[in-house]
Chains A and B, each alone.
Chain A
Amino acid sequence: MLHAGHIPDAVTGARAVPIYQTTSYVFEDTDKAAQLFELKQYGNIYTRINNPTTAVFEERIASLENATGAVATASGMAAQFTTMMTLLNPGDEIVSSSHLYGGTMTQFTHTFKKLGVKAHFVDPTDIENWAAAITPKTRAWYGETIGNPQGSILDLEALADLAHAHNIPLIVDSTFATPYLCRPMDWGADIVVHSATKFIGGHGSSIAGVVLDSGKFDFSSFATIADPDPAYHELKFYETFGHYGFLMKARAVTVRDTGGALSPFNAFLLIQGLETLSVRMDRHVNNALAIAKFLSEHPKVEWVAYAGLPNNRYHALAQKYLPQGAGAVFTFGIKSSNPRRAGKEFIEGLHLFSHLANVGDARSLVIHPGSTTHQQLSDAELEAAGVSAGMIRLSIGLETTEDLLWDLDQSLQATSA
């Protein structure tokens, strides 16, 4: 978290990572320039493709995830879009967990439809569902380590084994876990994506994403990676670059052409975030567990869905994949004859929890998914995504535990039954 990806600058000796706030880089000579454009030299061309500050973030997160490399993107949404646009052709299909961030579901359903890609959504908790949804066109499986918002835990090892038996790469969004709590590639995941906006940045200051590849999946049968690429003078990315063919294609073609590159300043802020990831995550999960226990015993609380609690249906999976803590985002429901109204009253009665559409800030956050993040979904889609009308989602921050308990308690007491 502190050293990987950055060796102090040879010329200045600067210890912190310098911010290379530049669009472009002067070439050594015309031959080297031509070779850079042909990808025969590694080097900096243009910040839409790579940048020395961003490269530190990329290598550092790759080191933390045990990945062969990484491509940073402007947002988490851009990270998953970059991944899919690199892997898929029109007519291809993906199978995805339905326990997803609402924005991801919308991207997969509607934006991908425009590109000729069909997404099949399955209840991720029954492994049979994944295999049953495979068609000859299936090119990827996708799920979240900790599903947003219902807090289900993906059975990574079983899913990876089954995906590989069908020659399908397993893509995991590990935003809620961070590489400190879980490294999906150690369980067989092939590609990991993050919304680095959340716990990685950690301070609610920067929108960012990242795509990581284990380098282990055999993409030789994937037309998009293995066939001669007309967008790059007939280069065969997989044959030429092997274990980093996917990432080179993602960087040199997908991000180059779709433009979702990370800014160097945001990369710097993410690097600052990563330096304290372990100490912050310990505090996030300790606070989250204390609050989940408190709520589960509170007379005004109907249910709490946190895999860190022993009675949760995902507790065994959480112990296997997230032994240091089941994350710091979870949901609960208020005991009320009118849960929608009670949810509204509860949120409006809070003093310390910020009501906004984000998670993974240093500060504690609260939201009502049914009316915000998941509002584009139909009732049926809401149900499939496990979002109930009165569900409240909390993202537990780094405040003193007692202060958070006080705030939740006073607002629950004031909420009408």
Chain B
Amino acid sequence: MGPGSELASDIRLNTLLNESDRAKFQDAVMIRKILNTSKTIAIVGLSPNSARASHFVGTYLASEGYRVIPVNPRATEIFGEKAYPDLLSIPFAIDLVDVFRNPDECVDVAKQAVQIRAKAFWLQLRVVNFDAARIAEAGGLQVVMDRCVKMEHGRYTGSLHWVGMNTELISARRGQRYI
């Protein structure tokens, strides 16, 4: 059975995960659903330094229309949004928790993400922690691991293609915005 009207894609490159973990934590349909339904994204480890990767991702997501909430105990405000020391301190609902932390810090972040009833838990490229994934999953969250939110957004909106990257998307159907 094919994916019907959904875009068919098998994204294999640039990950540490094996095939079965990719199917579980990098499912393309799930990733597009997360990016299509999330409005508020908390970035744990968002740096105020504009040269850091987390800042690139935060700036990008904000300019794409998401509300980006910085979570960083050493910052007070990042691009106009008040920063919070941890997820538990955020006084409103969060759809997606995006994590730029060392893998060994991710279990705590997963527990907090469950506690605040976020809908999805996303560990950035090269951040892999299966215990954290299990905790978030058990708490009812969708889990993505070892992928970059910005790159995935760019993959399905077409902009990643413009910088010569291999998006691994193949379709003879008329183009559309998948996000």
Q: When A8-B173, A8-B174 are in contact, do A240 and B164 touch as well, CB less than 8 Å?
A: no
Whether the pair A50, B51 counts as a contact (CB closer than 8 A) is: no
Residues of B within 8 A of A242 (CB): 53, 125-126, 148
B171 with A251: CB separation less than 8 A: no
User: Do B174 and A55 have beta carbons less than 8 Å apart?
Assistant: no
CB distance from A2 to the nearest CB of B (A): 9
- Given A3-B172, A239-B53, answer yes or no on A244-B165 (Cβ-Cβ < 8 Å): yes
Chain B residues 48 to 74 lying within 8 A of chain A, measured CB to CB, are 50-53, 56, 59-60, 63
Residues of B within 8 A of A251 (CB): 163-164
A42–B159 touching, CB < 8 Å: yes
Q: Is the CB of B164 within 8 A of A10?
A: no
In the complex, what residue of chain A is closest to B163 when comparing beta carbons? A42
| CB-contacts of A226-279 with B (<8 A) | 228, 233-236, 239-244, 247-248, 251
Which of B51, B161, B175 is in CB contact (< 8 Å) with A59? B161
With a cutoff of 8 Å between Cβ atoms, the chain B residues found around residue A13 in the complex are: 174
**Residues in B neighbouring A240, C-beta threshold 8 A:** 51-53, 56
With an 8 Å Cβ cutoff, the count of chain A residues facing the other chain is: 48
A35-B60, A68-B13 known; A7+B171 contact, CB < 8 A: yes
Q: Is A68 a contact partner of B166 (Cβ separation < 8 A)?
A: yes
B56, A39: Cβ atoms under 8 Å?
Answer: yes
When distances are taken between beta carbons in the complex, the residues of chain B under 8 Å from A55 are 161-164
Task: Verify if A40 is at the interface (C-beta below 8 Å from B).
Answer: yes
Contact of A50 among B60, B63, B162, B166 (CB under 8 A): B162
The interface residues of chain A lying within 8 Å CB-to-CB of B148 are 242
List the B side residues contacting A52 at CB < 8 Å: 162
In this assembly, does A9 line the interface, its C-beta being within 8 Å of a C-beta of chain B?
yes
Residues of B135-179 at the interface with A, using a CB-CB cut-off of 8 Å, are 148, 154, 158-177
- Return chain B residues, CB-CB under 8 Å to A5: 161
B20 close to A (CB within 8 Å): no
Taking A59-B167, A228-B51, A240-B53 as contacts, is the C-beta distance between A35 and B162 under 8 angstroms? no
B5 at the binding interface (Cβ < 8 Å): no
- A44 — which chain B residues lie within 8 A by C-beta? 162
- Interface residues in B114-146 by Cβ distance below 8 A to A read 125-126
Partner of B160 from A39, A42, A215, A235 at Cβ < 8 Å: A42
Chain A residues whose CB sits within 8 angstroms of the CB of B50 once the complex forms: 38
B175 touching A7, Cβ below 8 Å: yes
CB neighbours of A41 from chain B (8 A): 60, 63, 159
How far apart sit A70 and B50, CA to CA, in the bound complex (Å)?
Answer: 26
A63 CB-CB contact with B under 8 Å? yes
In this assembly, does A67 line the interface, its C-beta being within 8 Å of a C-beta of chain B?
yes
Interface residues of B in 18-69 (CB under 8 A from A): 50-53, 56, 59-60, 63
Min CB distance B17 to A, Å, is 14
Residues of B contacting A244 in the complex (Cβ-Cβ under 8 angstroms): 165
Interface residues of A in 185-224 (CB under 8 A from B): 215
Bound CA span A236–B52, Å: 8
Q: Are B159 and A59 in contact (CB under 8 A)?
A: no
Per-residue interface assignment for chain B, residues 77 to 113, with 1 indicating a CB less than 8 Å from any chain A CB and 0 otherwise: 0000000000000000000000000000000000000
Q: Are A236 and B162 in contact (CB under 8 A)?
A: no
A-B residue pairs, 10 tightest by C-beta: A58-B164, A42-B159, A10-B175, A62-B166, A69-B165, A7-B175, A40-B59, A240-B53, A3-B170, A69-B164
Which residues of chain B have a CB within 8 Å of any CB of chain A? 13-14, 50-53, 56, 59-60, 63, 125-126, 148, 154, 158-177
**27 pairs, CB–CB < 8 Å, chain A vs chain B:** A4-B166, A5-B161, A8-B172, A8-B173, A9-B174, A10-B177, A13-B174, A32-B63, A35-B59, A35-B60, A40-B56, A42-B160, A55-B162, A59-B164, A59-B167, A62-B166, A63-B168, A66-B13, A67-B166, A68-B14, A69-B166, A233-B51, A234-B51, A240-B56, A242-B126, A244-B165, A248-B163
Chain A interface residues toward B at CB < 8 A: 3-5, 7-10, 13, 31-32, 35, 38-44, 50, 52, 54-55, 58-59, 62-63, 66-72, 215, 228, 233-236, 239-244, 247-248, 251
